[in-house]
Structure 1
Amino acid sequence: MTKTWDAQLANWLVRPLINTWITPNYLTTVRLITGLIASLILAIDIKLANLGAFIFALSSFLDHTDGELARISGKTSKWGYNYDFASDAVINVFVFVGIGIGLKNSQLGHFSILMGLISGIAIACIFYCIFHLRNKLEQQPDKDVTRQLNFAGFDIEDILYLFPVVTLLNQLHVLLVAATIGAPIFAIWVLWQYRKF
């Protein structure tokens, strides 16, 4: 299975860092900081949503850099893997909470804050279950959980790069409504899979 386009670009960009003091965990921290900045921008002023969305898309790309550097430099670790996964969870939770807070003066009113919290809690539940499912699967030698399906160099996570398109089209309220409905449904499905495992 070939790497996705963004993973290939990340691999190329981090190659000069192999023999430097920069570790994969430093890159995870940069990814975490940029994601939290994006969430904060979305919460503070929805008029800056395009900037927040761009920084979030950049943060999503940076998510590939730590793993690529870890693999090509031989610096993989369980702690680093867990730190990366936790950073992903925190960013995805906070970005929807930020959107909810930022949209409080929109047509959704202050109900948007509750919607952001519902989406965020559901996403946290999803990440928690996936984390534990992956750990259980990794303990089984016949399971391959490290590969993610991709098509023509793109995988499902690449949809995050479309976030700036949502803000440019002024459709954040639609995204929040979809997340408020979809995230809890998906969380219930993931919880059901977790119980069955």
Structure 2
Amino acid sequence: MHILARWKVIAISHNTWIHRVVEIAVRPLTRTPITPNHLTTARLGTGLAAAAMYSIGQDFWTYFASGAFVLSIILDRADGALARLSSKTSLWGHKYDLLSDAICNSLMFVGIGIGLRESDLGLWAVPLGILAGLSVAAILFLVILAEGHNGIRAAELKGTKGIDPDDAILLVPVAMVIGWGYYLIVAAAIGALFFSLFFYWKFRNILFTTFRFKK
């Protein structure tokens, strides 16, 4: 099966509650010049803005950052929904989406770590944020390698009952708004590192094969 055709078939698995609501919202956009990549760019911009505002470390900016990050998450779902509804799926668009996810989520944790430098964690919050961010970036790297070897969405973790594992990212702005940033950054550093090691173990054969081939 052609890789783009396979992408369209597998993409239907994105049938979570969030995706269903977002699809209703973006359906009118199919009759406009707006493309999925436009939404991905907006997702990237709002995600970077959220990371920058989190790094300030003040409650006022934390609230705005959380709102911007929620919008960024919604746009992340919206670009794929628009691509499917308008039949504008593409390999480049998928990779652009993955890259935007990695940049936003990685820098978001780094920004939170910097913003928590005046908390009880002190300057330890900064390396914890960097560790979480680097772990997220490592996960993306492994996902790209796996997809390059086994096809689009080969590294995807399947959801159940209308909930996708990726939806857990919504806990980040919630935790920040209610003042649980201290616990969030510690859990993120440990959790993201664990998942990066999990992905490494799961796709280690692909990783070794890729680098042996390059040599």
1:52 and 2:61 matched: no
Q: Are the equivalent residues in 1 in contact too, given 2:27–2:82 (CA < 8 A)?
A: yes
Q: Deviations over 1:89-127 (max 9, x none)?
A: 000100000001100111111111111111111111111
1:73 and 1:2, CA in 2 relative to 1: closer, same or farther beyond 3 A? closer
Secondary structure, aligned partner of 2:116: helix
- Structure 1 residue corresponding to 2:127, chosen from 96, 103, 114: 114
2:7 aligned residue? none
Other-structure match for 1:180: 189
Percent sequence identity is 38
Match of 2:107 in 1: 94
- Post-superposition Cα deviations, 1:37-78, rounded to whole Å, max 9, x if no partner, equal 111110023322232122212211111111111111111111
Q: Quote the Cα distance in structure 2 between the aligned partners of 1:9 and 1:37.
A: 24
Q: Which moved more, 1:100-109 or 1:126-135?
A: 126-135
Counterpart of 2:171 (choices 118, 137, 162) is 162
Q: 1:36 aligns with which of 45, 48, 73?
A: 48
> Kindly tell me: are residues 11 and 148 of structure 1, through their superposed partners in 2, closer, same or farther at Cα, counting changes over 3 Å?
farther
Runs of 4+ in 1 over 4 A off after TM superposition: none
Contact 2:56 2:115 in 1 (8 A): yes
RMSD: 1.9
TM-score (norm 2): 0.83
Task: Give ranges in structure 1 of 5+ residues lacking alignment.
Answer: none
1:185 is displaced (CA, Å) by 2.5
- Kept after mapping to 1: 8 A contact 2:57/2:114: no
- For the residue of structure 2 that corresponds to 1:80, the secondary structure is helix
Q: How does 1:143-158 map to 2 (within 5 A)?
A: 145=154, 149-158=158-167
3-state SS in 1 of match to 2:203: helix
Aligned residue pairs, count:
193
Q: Is the 8 A contact 1:46 1:103 kept in 2?
A: no
